[in-house]
Amino acid sequence: MQHTILARNVLASVAILSLSLPGMALAGPNTKTRGPHGAAYIPKMDASFPQMATKFKMTVTPFNLVFLGFQGFFASENIPSASAFIQGAKTGKITPEALTQAAINMNRLSPDTLQDKDYLANVKFQLDALASSDK
């Protein structure tokens, strides 16, 4: 039963994330390439991404942050993926602050995010929900 609920939650999460990813690649003044239909894309995430994301209202929500961590997006920042991510969330080795800092280091979030108590509380909620779904 719990595996069914977890699978359903993961599938819903993937659907939501897939809908949000195309909008995350839209760029502003630093564009170097054009995608299909003339849309501008950023070839890599540089330090200007957090400011452009704010300008275009493209945010990495706490849900997206935890999902990206689970998928291994922050492996280069020593955040494990999959079951090791869930285990880290359960034991407290993966904290909201550590996950947020990893995203900041990879230019996905503004450094100001680390001071946003509401954002960190929502990341903690998502980590706790993921950890409790694997019982």
In contact, 101 and 114? CB cutoff 8 Å: yes
- Which residue pairs, CB below 8 angstroms and at least 24 apart, start in 5-13? 5/133, 6/133, 6/134, 9/133, 13/63, 13/67
Distance CA 65, CA 94 (A): 12
> Mind listing the pLDDT tens digit for each residue in 27-51?
444 444 554 555 554 455 566 666 7
- For residue 100, pLDDT over 60 is answered with yes
Distance CA 126, CA 118 (A): 12
pLDDT band at 133 (very low <50, low <70, confident <90, very high): confident
34: buried, middle or exposed (CB in 10 Å: 19+, 13-18, 0-12)? Answer: exposed
pLDDT of residue 43: 52
In contact, 82 and 72? CB cutoff 8 Å: yes
pLDDT of residue 24: 44
pLDDT band at 16 (very low <50, low <70, confident <90, very high): low
Query: Which residues lie closer than 8 Å to 39 by C-beta, 6 or more apart?
Result: 26
